[in-house]
Homo-oligomer: A and B are copies of this chain.
C-alpha cells in the first residue's frame, strides 16, 4: 500500500492576500471548485482578519460557507485571534489555523502581540472552541521558524519553546512555517527533530515558501523526516504582507509531481490540478503564475511511475 500525503492548498488564503488585485467571490468559488475537482481534500479557504488590514479576505465567511457544500472537503480558515476563531466557527470551518510567530518582530507586525502573548491567545481560542457544540480542529503554525526578514536568525530553542507552549495550551496540531523562505534542507531536518523531541506527534505540518528556490528541497527534507502534511499554493502564489522579502508558497503542482513520482498518494489528479490554473487566471488575470510542471507539461514517464 502506497503511503498517503496530504497536500493542503493555501492559495485561496495565502495566495489571494498577496495578490495586487482582488479576486471576486464568484471567481474564488469557481477556483476552489476546480481544486476540489482535481482531488484536493483540504483547502485553507480564507482568513478571519480585519478587512481593513487584509481587504482580500473580507468575504472569508461566505467562502467558508460555500466550501462546506463540497463533500469530503476539509475546510480550513486562518484565525489570528479569538474573535477570528469565533467568526470561523460561526461560518462552519472544520479547522482553524492560528499563526504564532517565533520572531518578536514578525509577531508584532503580523498580530500586534509578542510570541508569548500569541501563545496565550491560542490558549483562549482552544478553550472557547472546547465549549462549543461542534468539534473544530485547532492547528498552530510556528511562523518564521527558519529565519525572519525582520529579526534575522531564529534559534531552534526559540521554536521549541513556542511549540511547547502551544502543546501545553492544547493545540491539536503544530506546523512549522518558513514564512520568508530562508530555510535550507539540513535546517528543516534539524528543526523537525528538535520540535518532535519536545512535542511528539503534535508536530504534523510544514508550510514552505520558495523565496530562495529551496522550497521543494525543503519539502523533501521534511518528507524524509516523516512529515506527511504540506501546505502549497497553486502556481506558487503567496507571501506575507507583514514579512518583507517573502515570496510565494511552494508550487502545488510541482509538489504533487514530486510526491506521486516518489510513490506517495496525494489523491490529486495532476492534469486536473494544472487545469485549475485556468480558473485562478480568470479570477486574477494580472497575477504572475509560477511552476515548472505546468510549463513543461506532464512527462510520459509520470503515469507509469505513479
Contact = CB atoms under 8 A, between A and B. Distances in A.
A116 to B, nearest CB: 23
A254 B214 contact: yes
Interface stretch (A10-18, A40-48, A197-205, A298-306): A298-306
Nearest to A292: B213
A289 interface: no
20 contacts: A153-B304, A153-B305, A182-B299, A182-B301, A184-B261, A185-B262, A186-B261, A211-B292, A212-B258, A212-B293, A213-B254, A213-B292, A214-B216, A217-B219, A220-B221, A245-B296, A245-B297, A245-B299, A247-B292, A247-B296
Given A152-B304, A185-B220, A185-B262, A299 B214 contact: no
B292 A257 contact: no
Question: Range of interface residues on chain A?
Answer: 35 or more
Interface of A: 147, 149, 152-153, 180-182, 184-187, 210-214, 216-217, 219-221, 245, 247, 251, 253-254, 257-258, 261-263, 291-293, 295-297, 299-301, 304-305
Contacts of A293: 212-213
Contacts of A211: 292, 296, 299
